[in-house]
Amino acid sequence: MSRYKVISLDMFQTLVNIEGRREHVWRPILKQDYSEERALELGSLLLRSYYETAAEVRETGSFWTSKEIYSHGFQRVFGQHKVDFDYMQAVDILFAQHRLSALYDDTERFLEQVCREYQVCIVSDTDILMLPEFYLNYPVTLFTSEQYKSYKNDSRNYMFNEVLTHYGTAPKQIIHIGDTPSDILGAARAGMTSCWINRTGACWKHTVKPDYTVVSLEECYGLL
């Protein structure tokens, strides 16, 4: 018998790959000024702004939706780099492209396996409008930051605590699989088993270590 009752999953860069949509986000924004290098540069700045703003908001104890944080980020990046494009339209493009993110090769097989054997949920720091809708084909429960006005590993750790409340099981009987420090640190704070999916060969830089590190969902399934 498995020691786990619930499989908790991050969405982006765990089940789907948003990186493949970069060109589709930035080409309509930059138009004739588009290049792969410029898209990578501005995309990196936008992501940095996202994390900085999210951290600032968390410190104040308030909450912004992903749409609000990205709106602020696009305004900042466009202003600093003289991009002549409506920032709200840019947010709409970004959200639409997130919804079109491609599944990793091992995602469907993994979901089919775990959904037969476990209770499964998706825990995502995002607005519902950003999520690819493939998850609707599976018997999964959805937890988003937009729903709970909280982000993974914020001061309250409310997202993961809500998962515990929903399932009413011992924390160690839930394994959370994700690619970011917030996934691992938040799950660990809640007492859950944590599994870092490191598809890119990154180095772990935090004192609290994941219980497991894998390079794919296929490898993760072997742990279960």
In this prediction the pTM is 0.94
Gap between the Cα atoms of 202 and 92, Å rounded = 30
Nearest to 94, CA basis, from 49, 143, 48, 28: 28
pLDDT 10s digits, 150-187: 999 888 899 999 999 999 999 999 999 999 999 999 99
Provide CB contacts within 8 A for 48, sequence distance 6+: none
Gap between the Cα atoms of 1 and 43, Å rounded = 45
Q: Identify the residue with better confidence: 61 or 99.
A: 99
The 3-state DSSP class for residue 68 equals helix
Nearest to 64, CA basis, from 52, 80, 79: 52
Residue 194 is predicted with a pLDDT of: 98
The residue written with tokens 């996202």 in the block is 50
Structure tokens at 198: 């490191």
CB 155, CB 57: distance < 8 Å: no
For residue 129, the 8-state DSSP code is G
**Domains of the chain: residue spans and CATH:** 6-16+103-223 (3.40.50.1000), 18-99 (1.10.150)
Structure tokens at 83: 């991009």
Where is 119: in which H helix or E strand?
Answer: strand 119-124
Nearest to 212, CA basis, from 182, 176, 186, 180: 176
pLDDT 10s digits, 67-110: 999 999 999 999 999 999 999 999 999 999 999 999 999 999 99
